Homo-oligomer: A and B are copies of this chain.
């Protein structure tokens, strides 16, 4: 059974806009922060170094559906699952809740890349040791549907 990673974020004043609510880009910022926290929780980082150089995860897609507004000082619960763990990419699936009310759901797909200075990132197979640490967060299809 899949593990969901859960963290929280307080809506800061600098996250709000003149409509009096959390600006929509703050959802994307928090989605990424939650993903990075998930990685840290299993001893990984979004930027890692090995003998050949560094490995990082450029985003190829990000999306979010907004159902209800978040406001200043709200405490948001952010759930992260892995919707798909591919050979070279990971799709993280996010859910924002405030007191059990769902505010937004989103997804970010990131590709495992070898980074070399001055060159474009080159996608590589996710190293086995990394994939193993990510596997527990892979959601089963049923689970995502019924959730």
Contacts and interface: CB of A to CB of B under 8 A. Distances in A.
Contacts of A61: 63-66
A130 interface: no
Contacts of A112: none
A43 interface: no
Interface residues of A, number: 40
A54 to B, nearest CB: 9
Contact of A24 (B40, B59, B66): B59
A62 B24 contact: yes
Interface in A5-45: 12-14, 16-21, 23-25, 28-29, 32-33, 36, 40, 45
A46 interface: yes
Contacts of A25: 14, 25, 28-29, 32
A56 B17 CA distance: 13
12 contacts: A12-B36, A14-B25, A16-B17, A18-B18, A18-B21, A19-B58, A25-B25, A28-B28, A45-B73, A60-B66, A60-B67, A61-B63
